Amino acid sequence: MNAPFVQTRRDILRYAAAGGALVIAAPLASCARRPSDEMPAPPALTWFEGKVGAFVIIRADETVQIAFPNPEMGQGVDTSLPMLVAEELDVDFDQVETIQMPLELMPTEDGQMTWRYVPQGSGGSFSIPGHFEALRQAGALARALIVAAAARQFGVPASELTTERGVVRHAASGREATYGALAEAAASIAAPAEAPPLKTREQFRIIGTAQKMKNARAIVTGRAIYGIDAELPGMLHAVMERCPYFDGTAKSVDDSAARAVAGVRDVVKVNRPALGAPYDVQAEGYAVVADTLWAAMKGRRALKIDWDHGPFADESSAKFRQHCADLLAGSGQIVRNDGDFDAAFAGAAATYEATYWEPYVSHAPLEPQNALVDVREDRVTIIAPTQMPSGASREVGTLLGIDRQKIEVLATRLGGGFGRRLSNDYVIEAALISRAVKAPVKLLWTREDDLRHDFYRPAGLHHLRAGFDADGRLVAWTHRLASASKYYRRPNMPETEYWTAELYPDDFPSRLVDNYRLEYFSAKSGAPRGSWRAPAHTANAFVVQSFLDEIAHNRGEDPLQLRLRLLGEARDLPYEQHGGPVFNPGRLAACLRLAAEKGGYGEAMSAGKGRGIAGHFTFGGYCAQVVDVEVAADGALRVSRVVAAVDIGTVVNPNGVRAQMESGVNDGLSTALRLSINIEGGRVVEGNFDAYPLMRLADAPPVIETHIIDKGEAPAGMGEMGIPPLAPALTNAIFQATGKRIRDLPIADQLRGG
Amino acid sequence: MTLGNRSRINGARVAFEGDPEMPLLWFLREAAGCKGVKFGCGAAQCGACTVHIDGVAVRSCVTPMAAVAGKRVTTIEGLAQGDTLHPVQQAWIEEDVAQCGYCQAGQIMAVAALLEENPNPTDADIDAGLTNICRCGTYARIRKAVYRAAALKANGGAS
């Protein structure tokens, strides 16, 4: 999919002088009701009127703007990706403004679409590793053209010129010129035949320095634009009542009262596509379209719909768990099978066994799903908070049968993603509604819509057994999981793959135990499922790291030492899943040792206090955490400190790494403490944050330390590896503090009342 | 209904003819153009929609227009004095709090009101007084920024 970068480099530089102002601040169209004329002008809401077709914009006034290609959802790409460009461009990063690049695609010779510049999705912790080369090349090329312009102007060879912080110098003559003065001339210079060389690591001046978020001022003044803030002239508002029952349908609808609400324009039925379609919507339903959002909301309340409860009407969380237990009594798919587990387990000197449960959880980004779509005869405009703007383009193109070159996607800043916005179902809904009413439609989900119509992280029951020989070696390990696979109903996927395992064949302790078997049981559930930040790693790391802790305590061995002797020395093991192609156990061991050292692991703890450790590898990153807890006599739990160590190779923005670690810790803690999505009667119970209580400040650890190991390895991202170790380190600490082993998540009130 | 002569949003007089039950949030976002006020839950749970009414932090998603008659409303857009940021906004930048940023306007409005009431909050005061949800988990930095804002304010920092 990725177009070779060299094919497009002539497009990398576009200058204000050549192409007009590229970013134009334009006040948005008036709303239906305006306050009086005395109201001050609305905040300077801006939108891209022109397209930013390049990474670098340099103006004569020395303004430097660098576009980040991937959607920003809090992971810090609005700062870290421009750092890569700025490093090679050689500008003062403090002077750089950064802006979101719209989706830039182009057709290939065979009529498919490909990236015009670089891939533009946010997911899989891939932004940094995916762009580490290409964005530095973009910066180096821009610098080379500016240097070439200076060489012409000075009449000297380019090889005699140096650059520093936006200035080109000729040492011999003492002449110099600023980038801004050279930009227009540079724009007319052809790209060199060969890509300019990149800096060596030792020459980095920006990469590796702690940088604060570039767009902080816009955020703290309320001027940052999210999808929910987008408007188009003539836009109508829509909200949608979806069938609350999994795969349920409408038996009848009476929309007369809804249509009678002042301002309501139309009620539009939205149908689900057939299984296997290249796009999905969550549920069928009725969209109320109105002049104002409030009218649409009132109209929605006036809808009278009689829902058929669908094929999963009997599903409940309790029944689903029993279903998983029943499955585990039989035989499942063998995901990995090294040696002979059964024989080794039967012959083991000591054996261990435990069962763990993890519930469905919801992504719950704080910005509810929304999309603004304008479907016209000959073009489509999509403005939406999406992690995958190219998916929005592809799916809407398929849905409407329209040439993708006529679809414009403006990705906005996202009010959180966490994997939810890998799916573009809400964009599809808005496109269907816009097509029906022939106007731009802004669709807004409520919080209840979001919690009850998510692609949930799969729930499942895990059964583990392990055997040690007389010498204390771990010789047999099996992890058996019955869960509802996240691949269920995935668009574009054949039904035969809906049951793909949620166990990753190469995950720790794979290849470290001679007799090793992973067995998966696909459980039936009507709940939509999908990728939730660090997908199955969050579930599986909890289980594996808890089980190891249980074993160590049972054997009278220190839990850290057991992990370290399992991991062994540094070496590359094949790893074909997230973050491969190799897993180096030595790097994970180093993280565990560092977190243990900095976190005082192993020190004596007073009554009611505990300190637990866990580590995990995913998406190319190694992470270990030490969690300190205090459990009061009444069971009240407080996490007083988390100390983390992480090795994600070459670090671009250490401040961003720390921020993502803090995010991972709090996400992991919030989820472990109280979060679960429950099902009754084939529908989701929880509707808002009273029932799905995301953690608040009072429960957040006041201290989160992040210790970074950077030995110059290839860079990985940091969006996901901060989460998986948290829950097991937490419950391991709780065990030390209380003697109680948490095997069911969330913890909820399990520590209360003995 | 009409809001009456004394109603102000960010200092400007406003008129409103419409459903008195409509939440203030939608008036601010859809009519007044104050998009910095965010919708997160619609149930006063998350605080993303926090604004000040006569100086008190309220959750505008459950505040009907009828309750705003004759009141002074301040949104995140009205917190700074021209180009001079409010100390809480300044502290938020200095501590580099935001990630996705969606909740932060509400957090800042909540903290600004908290510090008016209690210029030197303790950890316990912050725990009890700041119940806005941050889904990204920026809480440790929020706590540091509250202390920094209190110090900036005490030193006569911005505003």
At residue A147, φ and ψ (nearest 5 deg) are -65, -40
Which token pair is A104?
Answer: 């830039």
Which residues of chain B have a CB within 8 Å of the CB of A719?
none
Residue B159, burial from CB neighbour count under 10 angstroms (0-12, 13-18, 19+): middle
**Alpha-carbon span A224 to A213, nearest angstrom:** 13
Closest listed residue to residue A366, CA positions, set B136, B68, B53? B136
Asked if B158 is an interface residue toward chain A (Cβ–Cβ < 8 A), one would say no
Q: For residue B6, what pLDDT is reported?
A: 67
Which token pair is A578?
Answer: 């997230």
**Alpha-carbon span B95 to A426, nearest angstrom:** 35
Asked if A94 is an interface residue toward chain B (Cβ–Cβ < 8 A), one would say no
Which residues of chain A have a CB within 8 Å of the CB of B138?
659, 662-663, 666
A469 within 8 A of A348, measured Cβ to Cβ: yes
Which residues of chain A have a CB within 8 Å of the CB of B19?
294, 298
Asked if B102 is an interface residue toward chain A (Cβ–Cβ < 8 A), one would say yes
Residue A279, burial from CB neighbour count under 10 angstroms (0-12, 13-18, 19+): buried
Asked if B1 is an interface residue toward chain A (Cβ–Cβ < 8 A), one would say no
Which token pair is B10?
Answer: 């960010």
Residue with tokens 């809001």: B3
Q: How far is A34 from chain B (nearest CA, A)?
A: 5
Indicate the residue of A45, A220, A659 with minimum beta-carbon distance to B108: A220
Which token pair is A397?
Answer: 């193109």
Sort strands A573-574 and A582-583 into parallel, antiparallel or unpaired: antiparallel
A132 within 8 A of A116, measured Cβ to Cβ: no
Which token pair is B114?
Answer: 């908290």
Residue A340, burial from CB neighbour count under 10 angstroms (0-12, 13-18, 19+): middle
Q: Do A74 and B99 touch (CB under 8 A)?
A: yes
Taking residue A354's Cβ as centre, other Cβ atoms within 10 Å add up to 16
Q: For residue A142, what pLDDT is reported?
A: 87
Distances (CA, A) of A172 to A168, A390, A721: 13, 50, 50
Taking residue A20's Cβ as centre, other Cβ atoms within 10 Å add up to 10
Q: Do A36 and B15 touch (CB under 8 A)?
A: yes
Cis peptide bond N-terminal to A746, omega within 30:
yes
B76 within 8 A of A221, measured Cβ to Cβ: yes
DSSP result, A130-150: HHHHHHHHHHHHHHHHHHHHH
Which token pair is A28?
Answer: 């948005």
Instruction: Compare all CA atoms of chain A with the CA of B2 and give the residue at the minimum distance.
Output: A35
Asked if B56 is an interface residue toward chain A (Cβ–Cβ < 8 A), one would say no
Sort strands A350-358 and A370-375 into parallel, antiparallel or unpaired: unpaired
**Alpha-carbon span B144 to A220, nearest angstrom:** 16
A115 within 8 A of A105, measured Cβ to Cβ: yes
ipTM value for the complex: 0.97
Q: Do A670 and B137 touch (CB under 8 A)?
A: yes
Q: Do B135 and A73 touch (CB under 8 A)?
A: no
Q: For residue B5, what pLDDT is reported?
A: 55
Give the CB-side neighbour count of residue A35, counting CA atoms within 13 A. Answer: 25
A370 within 8 A of A445, measured Cβ to Cβ: yes
**Percent helix, strand, coil in chain B (nearest 5)?**
40, 10, 50
Indicate the residue of A34, A667, A689 with minimum beta-carbon distance to B45: A689
Asked if A220 is an interface residue toward chain B (Cβ–Cβ < 8 A), one would say yes
Q: Do B46 and A366 touch (CB under 8 A)?
A: yes
Cα A727 from chain centroid (whole Å): 19
At a CB cut-off of 8 Å and minimum separation 6, what does A572 contact?
A: A582, A583, A584
pLDDT in tens, A483-528: 999 999 888 788 888 889 999 999 999 999 999 999 999 999 999 9
Distances (CA, A) of A490 to A66, A351, A481, A484: 35, 39, 20, 13
Sort strands A683-684 and A679-680 into parallel, antiparallel or unpaired: antiparallel
Give helix A559-567 / helix A585-598 axis angle, nearest 10°: 160
Of B28 and A23, the structure prediction assigns the larger pLDDT to: B28
Contact residues, A window 187-216, toward B, CB-based 8 Å cutoff: 212-213, 215-216
Q: Do B35 and A225 touch (CB under 8 A)?
A: yes
Contact residues, A window 315-374, toward B, CB-based 8 Å cutoff: 364-368
Indicate the residue of B126, B133, B140 with minimum beta-carbon distance to A701: B140
Residue type for position B101: G
Residue type for position A738: T
Q: Is B147 helix (H, G, I), strand (E, B) or coil?
A: helix
Q: Do B15 and A35 touch (CB under 8 A)?
A: yes
Which token pair is A551?
Answer: 């074993």
Q: Do A690 and B26 touch (CB under 8 A)?
A: no
**Alpha-carbon span A267 to A300, nearest angstrom:** 9
Residue B135: pLDDT band (50, 70, 90) is very high
Q: How far is B95 from chain A (nearest CA, A)?
A: 9
Which token pair is A678?
Answer: 């429950």
**Could you tell me the sign of the dihedral formed by the alpha carbons of A442, B135, A732, A705, in that order?**
positive
A184 within 8 A of A63, measured Cβ to Cβ: no
Angle, CA of A661, A645 and A543, to the nearest 5°: 80
Report chain A (754 residues): mean pLDDT per 10 consecutive residues. 27 29 21 28 25 64 89 97 95 93 88 88 93 90 91 97 97 95 84 86 97 96 94 96 97 98 97 86 96 97 98 98 98 97 98 98 98 96 96 96 94 95 97 98 98 98 98 98 93 85 95 98 96 94 98 98 98 92 97 98 96 97 98 97 98 98 98 98 98 98 98 96 98 98 98 79
Instruction: Compare all CA atoms of chain B with the CA of A369 and give the residue at the minimum distance.
Output: B40
Q: How far is B56 from chain A (nearest CA, A)?
A: 19
Q: Do B36 and A223 touch (CB under 8 A)?
A: yes
Indicate the residue of A222, A292, A413 with minimum beta-carbon distance to B36: A222
pTM over 0.80: yes
Q: How far is A510 from chain B (nearest CA, A)?
A: 32
Which residues of chain B have a CB within 8 Å of the CB of A228?
35, 38-39
Asked if A492 is an interface residue toward chain B (Cβ–Cβ < 8 A), one would say no
Indicate the residue of A38, A364, A662 with minimum beta-carbon distance to B135: A364
Contact residues, B window 9-48, toward A, CB-based 8 Å cutoff: 9-19, 22, 26, 30-43, 45-46, 48
Residue with tokens 């104002």: A292
Q: How far is B37 from chain A (nearest CA, A)?
A: 7
Residue type for position A705: E
Q: How far is B75 from chain A (nearest CA, A)?
A: 9
What's the longest Cα–Cα distance across chain A? Answer: 85
Indicate the residue of A366, A670, A704 with minimum beta-carbon distance to B140: A704
Asked if A292 is an interface residue toward chain B (Cβ–Cβ < 8 A), one would say yes
**Could you tell me the sign of the dihedral formed by the alpha carbons of A398, A404, A408, A413, in that order?**
positive
**Alpha-carbon span A679 to A477, nearest angstrom:** 32
Q: How far is A114 from chain B (nearest CA, A)?
A: 28
A98 within 8 A of A214, measured Cβ to Cβ: yes
Q: For residue A6, what pLDDT is reported?
A: 25
Contact residues, A window 694-733, toward B, CB-based 8 Å cutoff: 694-698, 700-704
Q: For residue A138, what pLDDT is reported?
A: 86
**Could you tell me the sign of the dihedral formed by the alpha carbons of A389, A391, A395, A400, in that order?**
positive
Residue B1: pLDDT band (50, 70, 90) is low
Which token pair is A277?
Answer: 């379609």
Asked if B57 is an interface residue toward chain A (Cβ–Cβ < 8 A), one would say no
Q: Is B24 helix (H, G, I), strand (E, B) or coil?
A: helix
Cα A113 from chain centroid (whole Å): 24
Q: For residue A54, what pLDDT is reported?
A: 62
Q: Do B135 and A664 touch (CB under 8 A)?
A: no
H helix intervals, A653-707:
654-674
**Alpha-carbon span A127 to A133, nearest angstrom:** 11
Q: For residue A495, what pLDDT is reported?
A: 84
Indicate the residue of A226, A229, A697 with minimum beta-carbon distance to B130: A697
Radius of gyration of chain A (CA): 28
Q: Do A36 and B89 touch (CB under 8 A)?
A: no
Cis peptide bond N-terminal to A491, omega within 30:
no
Indicate the residue of B10, B11, B98 with minimum beta-carbon distance to A213: B98
